[in-house]
Amino acid sequence: MDIIETIKEQIASNGILLYMKGSPNAPQCGFSARAAQALMACGERFAYVDILQNPEIRANLPKYANWPTFPQLWVKGELIGGSDIILELFEKGELQQIVRGAADKADA
């Protein structure tokens, strides 16, 4: 499977997906750490891909997403944004609603 197809499959099969450096419990950069903490504080399960373990995804996702940096949060197949946007949404209480909506849809 070509790497773009792999990325599309990951995004399609996970309602809430965070592409990050490291893992939520062991992030490898401050931006990924803050993004993962905000997501975990929402209280819903989410999938993640460690781009440091997946160099092809790290190289190709920015082109596919038209978003140059990591982390990247995808919810229900749509790119939400990176660390700054995630934190801004969290502070406004909007991230919790977005994540809850995706989790509710997944449970249905």
- CATH number of the domain enclosing 103: 3.40.30.10
21 is in an annotated binding site: yes
Total structural domains in the chain?
Answer: 1
70 is in an annotated binding site: yes
In contact, 27 and 39? CB cutoff 8 Å: no
Q: What is the largest CA-CA distance in the chain?
A: 39
List, for residues 43-102, the tens digit of each pLDDT value: 999 999 999 999 999 999 999 999 999 999 999 999 999 999 999 999 999 999 999 998
| pLDDT the model gives residue 106 | 65
* Predicted TM-score of the model (pTM): 0.95
Q: Domain limits at 66?
A: 3-107
Q: Which of 13, 35, 30 is nearest to 80 (CA)?
A: 35
100 is in an annotated binding site: no
| pLDDT the model gives residue 67 | 96
29 is in an annotated binding site: yes
Q: What is the mean pLDDT of residues 19-43?
A: 97
